[in-house]
Every structure is written in C-alpha cells, then in structure tokens.
Amino acid sequence: MTESSERRNRLRVWYRPMTMRDSGEGHRVATPLELLFDLCFVVAVAQAAAGLHHAIAENHIGHGVLSFGMVFFAIWWGWLNFSWFASSFDTDDVPYRLVTLVQIAGGLTVAAGVSSAFDGDFGIVVAGYVLMRLAMVVQWLRAARTDPECRPAALRYAIGITIVQILWVVRLGLPESLALPSFFLLLVAELAVPVIAERKRWTGWHPHHIAERYGLFTIIVLGESILGATTAVKEGLEEGEHTGSLISLAAAGLVLVFSLWWLYFDQPGHVRLEKAKNLFTVASWGYGHYLIFASAAALGAGLEVAVDYDTHTGHVASLPAAMATTVPVAIYLVSVWLMHIGPTNECRPIAIGFPVTAVLVLAASFTPAPIHVTAGLAAALVVLTVVATHGEPVPGERAAESSIDAGQSVGAKKGTPL
C-alpha cells in the first residue's frame, strides 16, 4: 500500500463523504450518539414540565400552558430535525459528532432558559435554539457539498433555516404586543422550510429507524413524568401526612403511565410510515407527534399538581387540578389514535375505543377521584386492544410489516418531508 493510500484510509476513519444512506438498510437502529442526544434533551423537557407544574399550582393556568407550548416547540423541533437528518445522512465521523455535540449544547442552553421563559424572557431559550439550528445548517451545507443529488434540497434547507433564525433573533426586539403573533408566524415558517426544501427532490429516510427514534423519545418523556410524580409523592410522604392518599395516587399514576406506554407501542409505528403515500401523510405523522410528546410531558406536571392538591400545598381548585392530568391524557390518546391506529382501522373496537376513552377521560375530571378513574379507563383500553387484536398487529398490517423487513421500503422511493 502506498503512502498516499494509507493517508486516505486514515482520513476515512475520521471523515466520510456525507451521502444519503440506504433507506432499505437492514438492522438500522439508534446510535449511541442519538441516545446521548435524547438523554440531554430530556433535561429541557423536565424543565418545561416543572415550569408548567408551578404555573398551574399557582393558578396561572393560561400563562403556564402557553409558555409550556412555546418552549416545548423549541425542544421538539430541534430534536425532530436532528432525528430525520440523521436517518438520511448520519456518517458518524468526527465532524458529524462534533456538530451534533454543539446541537446538544444548544439544547442544554434551552433547558437553562426555561424558567426565564416562563417569566416572559425568551432570550436564553432563543440563544440555545439558534445555536441548535445553525449547527443543523452546517450539516446541510456539508450534505450539499458531498451529495450532488440532494444538493438543491440541502441548500434550500440551509438558506431557509438561516433566514428563520435571523428572524427569531429580530423577534426579541419587537414590542410585547407583537410577541405572540410573531411567534406563531415564525412557527409556521419553521414548519414550512422542510416542505419548501423537499418539494422537488426528497431526502431518504428509514421507516424502522424513524419509528424507533420516536418511540425512544416517547419512553424518555413518559419516564420523566414518572420521575416528576415520584419526587412529588416522596416530598409529600416526608411530611408524614396524607400517606394513604399519596400511595393510592402513586399507584394510579403508575397504572396510567404504564397503560399509555402500552397503547403507544401496541401497534408498530413504522407500518404507518410504510403505508404513507404522500408528503402530507408522512409530515402529519412526524409533526403530529408534537402532541404526543408534549402531552406525555404535561402528564408529569399534572400528576405533580394532583399531589399538591391532595397535600393542600397548591392554590388551584379541584377541577383545574384534575384537568391538569385528564386533558393531557385525552390529547395523548387522540394523538396516538390518529398517528398509529387511524379512524378507518379495520379493527373497529380499537378504532372506536381510543376516541371514546378520550371523551370519558375528560368526563373523569368531574368525578371525586379523577386520577384513579383515568387510570382505570386507560387500563381498560389496554385490555380492549389486547382482546381485540389478540396481542398482535391488527389484521392487514402484517403484510406491510413483512414488506419492510424484506427491505422493500417506501422510504427508498419517497424520502422524508422533514
């Protein structure tokens, strides 16, 4: 081997051309770097949930929900863009890892600014968010340089993201009266960038990999809910009062979270991706998970509010305290129904069971034990799905699932709209 060949081989160890990966690639799973990315981002999720909990407990419900939704968008959008880009272009070389670590630093900066954002100061959150997004621009420029087929889409991504980030910074100087309208305007602009960038040439994605990434983040967010509720129960028990009610509440909370986990993973998410026939369908699945993630995070805050109510440490009435849990659960059920089940699903018991249960969960807000009733309803829906499907994917989905396993991925033909 010549000296120049050895030099090229050493170079490949730390640098690889960033070209689109095969969307039919077998055994594609999340990488350790992606797992680290999720773990660091859940810090921001925990901070957002804590802010929501304190706002509701102090009876600042409208302000708390709005601030939570705005902060959570920054967290979710940064995570989503990284995950879909990695599904298409992950090279796992030194430059890719370094830029990803910068994105993680941006996510942690967002986490550091959450409490200030709930007080109306979004400066730190915007700084962290812009850092994440500009790091994403670097990745797209690299893809544009080394993958000629994806160059037009990659450049549109880079230009679009950069323009929107400039506008986020400009927004900080706008009058307070324009703060909310400008936020939603820029939110729409962010969502539009992928659609505009990929209107002609789509970048590739891997259905199994994307479904796994979304599933892992769902687990992490549900885990954060368990952690928040457990901490609240522990603090209540240390006071030596309300022991019986808190133990009962903790048990109901566990049943509820376990049931929500079961319902999300009962049907394989990648099957819905495989059957998607157009940009709108895949984008709806990818974007729609905002409601799943946000409601799962809000559930933890709701359970903490329930602990505050039972221990008489909060300042919120019984109905709002109940709805802090029931509303997120209802949103979660409807969202999972739309993303994974579908109104036209041929297994009619679960196609009908999800929305009906969501309505009953909202009605549980008016009962004397709303958390316990909600947990019972969620567990009953789990039983219904197991009985109706015999614990297997619904009939008709298996063929689509096997076609993915055989490597016949629609993603190889379509690409990702995200």
What is d(CA 252, CA 377) in angstroms, rounded to the nearest whole number? Answer: 11
CA atoms within 13 A on the CB side of 232: 31
**Cα–Cα separations (whole angstroms), residue 282 to 143, 287, 371, 418:** 22, 8, 34, 8
SS (H, E, C) 271-310: HHHHHCCCHHHHHHHHHHHHHHHHHHHHHHHHHHHHHHHH
pLDDT of res. 230: 80
pLDDT of res. 347: 80
Instruction: List CB contacts of 23: < 8 A, sequence separation 6 or more.
Output: 88, 204, 205, 206, 207, 409, 411, 412, 415
pLDDT of res. 392: 67
Do 191 and 277 lie in one domain? The reply is no
Does residue 311 sit within a domain? yes
Do 247 and 332 lie in one domain? The reply is yes
pLDDT of res. 104: 96
Do 252 and 316 lie in one domain? The reply is yes
Report phi then psi at 416, rounded to 5: -105, 140
Do 181 and 223 lie in one domain? The reply is no
Do 253 and 125 lie in one domain? The reply is no
**Domain end call among 197, 226, 257:** 197
Do 386 and 267 lie in one domain? The reply is yes
Q: Where are the alpha helices (DSSP H) in 337-369?
A: 348-363
Instruction: List CB contacts of 157: < 8 A, sequence separation 6 or more.
Output: 136, 137, 140, 193, 194, 197
What is d(CA 122, CA 256) in angstroms, rounded to the nearest whole number? Answer: 33
User: Residue 97 in 3-state DSSP?
Assistant: helix
Do 78 and 226 lie in one domain? The reply is no
The pair of three-digit structure tokens given for residue 296, joined into one six-digit string: 């799962």
Does residue 17 sit within a domain? no
Do 66 and 135 lie in one domain? The reply is yes
Do 148 and 291 lie in one domain? The reply is no
| Global model pTM greater than 0.75 | yes
pLDDT of res. 22: 64
pLDDT of res. 277: 60
What is d(CA 338, CA 290) in angstroms, rounded to the nearest whole number? Answer: 13
Do 103 and 125 lie in one domain? The reply is yes
Do 265 and 380 lie in one domain? The reply is yes
pLDDT along the chain (418 residues), means of 10: 52 69 73 92 92 92 94 95 91 92 96 93 95 96 90 93 97 93 96 86 77 92 84 71 80 92 83 66 86 95 90 87 96 93 79 94 96 96 89 49 38 44
**Domain end call among 170, 197, 224:** 197
Q: 308 — alpha (psi -120 to 50), left (phi > 0) or beta? A: alpha
**Domain end call among 174, 197, 220:** 197
Does residue 14 sit within a domain? no
Does residue 7 sit within a domain? no
Contact 281, 338 (CB under 8 A): no
What residues make up the domain containing 47? Answer: 29-197
Structural domain count, the chain:
2
Does residue 21 sit within a domain? no
